[in-house]
Amino acid sequence: MERRDIIKSLSVLPFAGSVLPLKAMLSSASGPLAPGQSIYESIGVDPVINCVGTYTIIGGSLERPEVVQAMHDASGYFVQYDELAFGIGRRLAEITGAEWGMVSAGCAAGMKHVTAASVTGGNPEKLIRIPDLAGFDKTEVVIPRRSRNAYDHAIRNIGVTIITVDTPEELEKALNSRTAMIYLMANNEVKADQPWSLESIAKMAKPLNIPILVDAAAEDLTFPNVHLQRGATVVAYSGGKAICGPQCAGLLLGRKDILMSAWQASSPHHGCGRDNKVGKEEMMGMLAAVEAWIKRDHVEKMKIWHTYLDNISKRLSPVKGVTCTVHEPRGLSNHSPSLIISWDPEALNITGLDVAEELASKQPRIAVHNNYLNDDGKTSITVVSGQMQPGNDKTVGDRIFDLFSRKNPKPKEMTTPVASLAGRWDVNVEFYSSQSQHTFFIEQDGNWIKGSHKGDFSMRDMYGIIDGDQIKLSSNDRQIADNIPFIFYGTANADSMAGEIFMGEYIRAKFTAKRHEQRTTKRPIRVPKGQPLAT
CATH code (residue 489)? 2.40.128.120
Q: Both 76 and 188 in a single domain?
A: yes
The predicted pLDDT at position 462 comes to 98
523 inside domain: no
Least confident of 27-41, 166-180, 264-278, 463-477: 27-41
Q: Both 306 and 261 in a single domain?
A: no
- Cis ω before 65 (30° cut-off from 0): no
> Angle at which helices 392-405 and 352-361 pack, to 10 degrees?
130
Domain of residue 329, residue span: 3-58+301-405
Average pLDDT over residues 157-186: 97
Where is pLDDT greater, at 11 or 450?
Answer: 450
> Angle at which helices 256-264 and 81-96 pack, to 10 degrees?
150
Average pLDDT over residues 265-279: 95
The predicted pLDDT at position 483 comes to 94
Q: Both 502 and 368 in a single domain?
A: no
Q: Both 98 and 217 in a single domain?
A: yes
Q: Both 250 and 128 in a single domain?
A: yes
- Chain segment 47-73, per-residue pLDDT in tens: 999 999 999 999 999 999 999 999 999
23 pLDDT tier (thresholds 50, 70, 90) = low
Q: Both 137 and 253 in a single domain?
A: yes
Least confident of 13-27, 111-125, 301-315, 428-442: 13-27
Does the pLDDT at position 454 exceed 90? yes
Q: Both 510 and 432 in a single domain?
A: yes
Q: Both 187 and 108 in a single domain?
A: yes
429 inside domain: yes
The predicted pLDDT at position 25 comes to 53
Alpha-carbon dihedral sign for residues 328, 245, 287, 107: positive
Does the pLDDT at position 21 exceed 70? no
Nearest CA to 338 out of 396, 371, 386 is that of 386
Report in angstroms the alpha-carbon separations of 445 from 7, 449, 496: 34, 6, 19
Where is pLDDT greater, at 221 or 21?
Answer: 221
CATH code (residue 20)? 3.90.1150.180
Is 264 in contact with 192 (CB distance < 8 Å)?
Answer: no
Q: How does the average pLDDT of the chain come out, rounded? A: 93
Distance CA 67, CA 239 (A): 11
How many structural domains comprise the chain? 3
188 pLDDT tier (thresholds 50, 70, 90) = confident
Does the pLDDT at position 240 exceed 80? yes
The predicted pLDDT at position 12 comes to 34
Least confident of 16-30, 48-62, 229-243: 16-30
Region for 209 from its dihedrals, namely left if φ exceeds 0, alpha if ψ lies in -120 to 50, beta otherwise: left
Least confident of 14-23, 141-150, 375-384: 14-23
532 inside domain: no
381 inside domain: yes
The predicted pLDDT at position 16 comes to 45
Please tell me whether residue 78 adopts helix, strand or coil conformation. Answer: coil
Nearest CA to 515 out of 431, 421, 437, 377 is that of 421
Does the pLDDT at position 179 exceed 80? yes
CATH code (residue 117)? 3.40.640.10
524 inside domain: no
Average pLDDT over residues 449-473: 97
Nearest CA to 243 out of 393, 103, 368 is that of 103
Is 430 in contact with 511 (CB distance < 8 Å)?
Answer: yes
27 inside domain: yes
| Cα 499 → chain centroid | 27
Alpha-carbon dihedral sign for residues 114, 117, 119, 125: positive
Q: Is 266 exposed, middle or buried (0-12, 13-18, 19+ CB in 10 A)?
A: buried
Average pLDDT over residues 319-326: 96
Does the pLDDT at position 391 exceed 70? yes
Q: Both 69 and 54 in a single domain?
A: no
Terminal alpha carbon distance of the chain? 62
Is 68 in contact with 401 (CB distance < 8 Å)?
Answer: no
Does the pLDDT at position 11 exceed 80? no
Q: Both 384 and 349 in a single domain?
A: yes
Domain boundary among 270, 295, 320: 295
Q: Both 289 and 176 in a single domain?
A: yes
The predicted pLDDT at position 315 comes to 98
Q: Both 46 and 106 in a single domain?
A: no
Beta bridge partners of 234: 213, 254
- Chain segment 277-309, per-residue pLDDT in tens: 999 999 999 999 999 999 999 999 999 999 999
494 inside domain: yes
Average pLDDT over residues 261-278: 96
Domain boundary among 265, 295, 325: 295
Average pLDDT over residues 374-400: 95
- Chain segment 330-340, per-residue pLDDT in tens: 889 999 999 99
Q: What is the pTM of this model?
A: 0.91
Distance CA 93, CA 395 (A): 42
